[in-house]
Chains A and B, each alone.
Chain A
Amino acid sequence: MLETASPLYDDLIPGGSHWSFIMRRGHVLRLIDETGHANVGMLMYNPENPLERYNMPDTLKNQHTFKLTRGHVLLSDMGRVFASIIRDDLGWHDTVSGTCNAELVAHRWGRKTYQQAHNQYHRNGLSSFLNELAKYGLGKKDLTANLNWFSRVKTDDAGNMTYVSDHSHAGATVDLRFEMDTIVVLHTCPHPLDSAADYPSHPLRYQLFRASPVTDADPCKTSSPEATRAFANTALYHLMP
């Protein structure tokens, strides 16, 4: 699935931080939980028209799933595929719990200002997203339900949600193959349901690879009739530049 064995780029984002970049189609973004217990909040937009954005409901209902794992595709609200999950070591990633905000972080882990703690101050996911979105002329109106990589939130028959605190481990890896150019906005702030005693600050290692061409037998493309049709929409988009 990867055309190159060694990464084209390799970087580490500290815990409790935020970053963004544009992924080009035909490339793989590898996310690695460097130390274990990571949470990576992510949003996705089309750089050509940022009104096209990651859509949690469409992603879940098209694939009849509440969790995300290998074989699933991440859909835009325009019926197209931003990225395919081509590798996943964990079997479950959350996309319904949203992100922590300043109030939640201060309530659970205390307020640590920049003056006190410099770059170890307590950032929150919502402000982090808004900080990165502003770099593309985007803002509060562009926020949608985000992905929470490496995090698992399960439910019981009554719909009660439980955060699974020991879900991810050091080295756990997710590979996302991008099928469209995509603005990727991410943060390494805590999952909003994490009840750890200390502010969870876990880094993300990410690497870029060139992807092998997507064949008609590709497992993500054929995983469901819905995914096959989303790939057809994406192919049409690239046919009509």
Chain B
Amino acid sequence: MIKESALNPETASFRETVPAGEYFLKVVQAGETLRILDLEGNQAADTLFYNAHNPTERYSVTDTLRAQGNVYLTAGSRLMSSENNVMLEITADTCGRHDTLGGACAAESNTTRYALEKKCMHACRDSWLVAVTEHEELGMTKRDITHNINFFMNVPVTADGGLTFADGISDAGKYVEMEARMDVLVMISNCPQLNNPCNGWNPTPIEVLVWS
């Protein structure tokens, strides 16, 4: 569902550009609004959310799908935690659909999806593993890397149980915006995937904005 935001980027309390292949880590307080902006189009923002006070509670794809009875995310979707609490609610979306079934790329999944020789190419899970090891204060490890949201990705499910990877429906300037319902740690890997035609083999930067 396309729903535009009334918020003005000029009034954002925080703005940061995240290059492809980098991670982004920030606590967003309950009541604040987070926007992820696709600067150049068809980029994938692989995102994990944690309860900022207890990262054992985290975004759960299965609880989210079940709570809304739908496999796609868009405006109105409530992002649920592993403890069945609402973490964030998507309040605006100019893309229309986001994927949470396809997971993130990892060095090892690149070997199965593309070619065994691709194992040393940089991948989203590498970015997250760097993030948690560079931030020991979070007390997080690979155990905490679970299933994520792929903002701006389109992964249609067919009625007979197929899963397809369609061309991106995002474009330069499209965004998704969500309001935090609890204090959340946001961990994004701005995807470096060089093997997937969905991004035209060209990973590009995103921008993250927060309104207090």
Contact = CB atoms under 8 A, between A and B. Distances in A.
B66 A145 contact: no
A141 B144 contact: yes
Interface stretch (B153-161, B185-193, B202-210): B153-161
A141 B159 CA distance: 33
Counting contact residues on chain A (CB < 8 A from B), the size range is 35 or more
Contacts of B163: 60-61, 64-66
Interface in B89-115: 101-104, 106, 108-109, 111-113, 115
Given A66-B163, A103-B84, A159-B157, A97 B62 contact: yes
Interface stretch (B9-17, B21-29, B67-75, B169-177): B67-75
Contact of B65 (A51, A96, A158, A226): A96
A79 B110 CA distance: 8
Contact of A65 (B56, B60, B113, B162): B162
B161 A233 contact: no
B78 interface: no
B116 A193 contact: no
A62 B113 contact: yes
B44 interface: no
A98 B63 contact: yes
Interface of B: 56, 60-63, 65-66, 69-72, 82, 84, 101-104, 106, 108-109, 111-113, 115-116, 142-144, 146-147, 155, 157-159, 161-165
27 contacts: A51-B143, A57-B101, A57-B102, A58-B112, A61-B101, A61-B102, A66-B158, A66-B163, A75-B112, A77-B106, A77-B108, A77-B109, A97-B62, A97-B65, A98-B60, A98-B66, A141-B56, A141-B143, A146-B62, A155-B159, A157-B159, A158-B70, A159-B70, A161-B69, A227-B112, A232-B116, A233-B108
Interface of A: 51, 55-58, 60-62, 64-67, 75, 77-80, 92, 96-99, 101, 103-104, 140-146, 154-161, 192-193, 226-227, 229-230, 232-233
Q: Please list the 4 inter-chain residue pairs (A to B) with the smallest Cβ-Cβ separation, ordered nearest first.
A: A57-B103, A98-B62, A79-B108, A67-B161
